[in-house]
Structure 1
Amino acid sequence: MKMNDLKKTIQDFFQDGTVTIIGSGLSIAEGLPSMGDLANELDNKMTTFLKTADEKKIWNEISERFDEGVGLEETLHEVKPTKNLEQKIRELTANYVRSKEDQALKRVILENDSFRLSAYLMRFNIRNNGLTIITTNYDRLIEYSCELVGLRVDNLFVGKYFSRYLPNQSKYSFCVGVKKRKKKQAVEFAPKVTILKPHGCLSWYIVNNEPIAAPMIREDDCLIITPGANKYREGYNEPFDSQRAKANDSIDSAERFIIIGYGFSDDHLETHLRKQILSGKPTLIFTHTLSEKANEIVKNFSNVTAFTHDNLGTKIINIEAETILKKVNLWDIGEMVKEVFNE
């Protein structure tokens, strides 16, 4: 495919009906920890919190698997931690991710830098229905990326400092006026991005048995689902349950997908996402390296094209072939936007 044709193909995804799915790859590119980094952090810090001989035995088994190169997700499925260990994993994860998020935000604010996603978002003409992003990440980099370029964020909570979870009401907080259209009145909404987080967020807590979002609180007992078998149990509590349901509804109603740094490893979303890709919905994947599951999807579905890192530039993969595009980093969405839209 010629470069101009390739650019046109990508540009056609930047319109109404596109749902963006974002995994940890985007956050890693901004300096946040990978699963490997998180495993090392847990292994280094957890020994301080082990209370019983049983917990020490369980953690030794987990640590041994880390040493053998087994990933965090797989390890915590094989060796089930106690309730106390689960809680400590959640707290250490939140603290570690938050510390790295702070560094990324300071870089943007103090060094006049920018997040990759901001330029990506600005290429959409966001209308009343807004743009939907689904992410398995806990951090707030997507929210920051939106507001840094003047796009409002709908996280299904209502309020500013102590927001209540009101998924059926949040959209009305973006009303900016009423216009007459053909003798009828129509509500006008500010451009917004709806961000759905089925695995939770560093800002979410339970207060008086109710989910709230409070960005000024920095406690580590926030509402996040960490890797392991517990994530399937936790996923059916609020707000995770309705976040997942709305994410799946968005996937089902999407016309096309842009998938950024996501490895297709979350069963909460996979049933719907795979079904919609199988139905033929056009899909672009931008990632440094394809996971095994992502590679299987690319190799089996003609409507999927992946852009991945290559030492020479970008490797473009689809069901028919693999092509190397030299000296162009289309796999990185920041570079992709510059190249595709001639910025």
Structure 2
Amino acid sequence: MDIDTIKKIIQDFFQEGTVTIVGSGLSLAEGIPGMGELAKKLQMEIPGLLSATGDIKNWNNIENDLAKGVGLEEALHNTKPSSYVEECIRKVTAIYIGEADKGLLTDIVKTGKQLRFSEYLQLFNIRNEGMTVITTNYDRLLEYACETNEIMADTLFVGKYIARFKPDQSKYASCIGVQRTNGKGKKLQYSPRVTILKPHGCLSWHLINSIPYSLPDYSIEDSLIITPGLNKYREGYSVPFDIHRARANEEIDKAQRYIIIGYGFGDDHLETHLMQQLRAGKPALILTRQILINFV
């Protein structure tokens, strides 16, 4: 296959009908800690947070696996964290990722740092129903990339500082006018919009009086995020995670093609649908350091 043919195949992905799936590889490239760094951070911080004998024993089992080189996800599958250990993991994770996220935002504002995903978005002509991006990341890198390009980032919340979860209304926040059609009807006009679906949560999300909010300036350690391990499948069926997961699967099913960036194919929340579509023959452009999957 000649280079011109390859370029044409790649160019065909950058159009309407493409769903983008983003994993931790993209965030790693921008300086957000990955699983390996997070595991080391947890090993440093968690022991000092525990006092109950049962929790200490529970964490020691997890830490023994980590010390042997077992990955964090696998270690948390091998030993299910107790409720308190899981809460400690969540808080340490949120603070650790949040510090890197804040530093990234500072670089964008103060030094004009250009995110890789900002450049990626410029390859699309975003119009009509907008574009969908699905990510398992907690950070707000994608939201920053959208707004530096003057594109609305729709995470299914409505508002700025105390935003409520309104998945059926959020898209109307990008409405900029009404256009008369040839007949007597009218059509809403929208500014460019990227719908960002986060089935594992976000540093901005918080649960207050059983109501999910997006509060970008609220305490990071109380963020609504699903940490790795067996418990994430239980948490994935509560609001707002369930809506984001369901919407993500709907978008995967109806997509014409996929661009997959830095995603390790290790999440059952998405892959039941994604792998079915890939095996059915839908094309995918995968940007990764190493291919470790088999679609057959």
Structure 1-normalised TM-score?
A: 0.84
Corresponding residue SS for 2:45: helix
Where do 1:133-212 residues align within 5 Å? Answer: 133-183=133-183, 184-212=185-213
Instruction: Indicate the residue corresponding to 1:40 in structure 2.
Output: 40
User: How far apart, CA to CA, are the structure 2 residues paired with 1:52 and 1:220?
Assistant: 22
Q: CA deviation at 1:110?
A: 2.1
Aligned-residue Cα RMSD (Å) equals 1.0
**How far apart, in 2, do the equivalents of 1:81 and 1:194 lie?**
33
8 Å Cα contact 2:179/2:189 also seen in 1: yes
The amino acid across from 2:160 in the alignment is: K
The answer as to 2:283 corresponding to 1:282 is yes
Distance, in Å, in 1 between the alignment partners of 2:3 and 2:136 is 32
In the other structure, the counterpart of 1:245 is: 246
Instruction: Between 21-30 and 172-181, report the one with greater CA deviation.
Output: 172-181
Q: Which residue of 1 aligns with 2:116?
A: 116
Offset of residue 221 of structure 1? 1.6
What one-letter code is carried by the residue in structure 2 that aligns with 1:73?
E
Structure 2 distance, partners of 1:75, 1:118, is: 34
2: CA distance between counterparts of 1:92 and 1:135? 21
Give, in angstroms, the shift of residue 71 of structure 1: 0.4
Quote the residue 1:257 is aligned against. 258
2:169 and 2:220 map into 1 onto residues whose CA distance is 27
Mapped pair 1:230 → 2:228: no
In 2, distance between residues paired with 1:209 and 1:82? 22
Deviation at 1:53, TM superposition (A): 1.6
Q: Deviations over 1:202-222 (max 9, x none)?
A: 000011211000101133121
CA–CA distance in structure 2, aligned partners of residues 47 and 288 of structure 1: 34
1:85 equivalenced with 2:85 (yes/no): yes
Please report how far the alpha carbon of residue 105 of structure 1 lies from its aligned counterpart in structure 2 after TM superposition.
2.0
The answer on whether the counterparts of 2:204 and 2:220 sit within 8 Å (CA) in structure 1 is: no
* Deviation (angstroms), 1:6: 1.5
Point out where structure 2 has 5 or more consecutive residues left out of the alignment. Answer: none
Which contiguous aligned blocks of 4+ residues in structure 1 show a shift greater than 3 angstroms?
none
Deviation at 1:248, TM superposition (A): 0.3
Partners of 1:101 and 1:205 lie apart in 2 by: 17
Shift of 1:158: 0.5
Kindly provide the CA deviation profile for residues 123-149 of structure 1, in whole angstroms up to 9, marking residues without a partner as x.
111112000000000000000000001
CA distance in 1, matches of 2:187, 2:71: 51
Offset of residue 280 of structure 1:
0.9
Q: Partners of 2:115 and 2:36 in 1: how far apart?
A: 23
Aligned residue in 2 for 1:305 = none
Residues 181-201 of structure 1 show CA distances to partners (whole Å, capped at 9, x for unaligned) of 212311111110000000000
- Give the secondary structure class of the aligned counterpart of 1:113: coil
The secondary structure found in structure 2 opposite 1:276 is helix
Superposed displacement of residue 157, structure 1: 0.4
Q: Matched residue of 1:146: which SS? A: helix
1:296 Cα deviation after fit: 1.8
- Distance in 2, matches of 1:107 and 1:82, equals 38
The alpha carbon displacement at 1:86 in A equals 0.5
Looking at structure 1, the residues matched to 42 and 147 of structure 2 have their Cα atoms a distance apart, in angstroms, of: 32
Render the CA deviation track for 1:94-126: whole Å, top value 9, x for unaligned.
000011112222222222221000011011111
SS at match of 1:227: coil
Of the structure 1 ranges 124-133 and 175-184, higher mean CA displacement relative to structure 2 is found in 175-184
Distance in 2 separating the partners of 1:285 and 1:224: 26
SS of the counterpart of 1:220? helix
- The code of the aligned residue for 1:217 comes to Y
**Which residue number in structure 2 is paired with residue 3 of structure 1?**
3
Give structure 1 stretches of 5+ with no counterpart.
Answer: 301-343
User: 2:215 corresponds to which residue?
Assistant: 214
> Equivalent residue for 1:76?
76
Q: Distance in 2 between matches of 1:167 and 1:289?
A: 35
Q: 2: distance between equivalents of 1:219 and 1:150?
A: 26
Percent identical pairs in the alignment equals: 52
Please say if residues 77 and 229 of structure 2, whose CA atoms lie closer than 8 Å, have aligned partners that are also in contact.
yes
Give the Cα–Cα distance (whole angstroms) in 1 for the partners of residues 3 and 56 of structure 2: 56
* Residue aligned with 2:228, SS: coil
> How far apart are residue 67 of structure 1 and its match?
1.2
User: C-alpha offsets along residues 226-269 of structure 1, whole Å, 9 cap, x if unaligned?
Assistant: 00111010000000011100000000010000000001100000
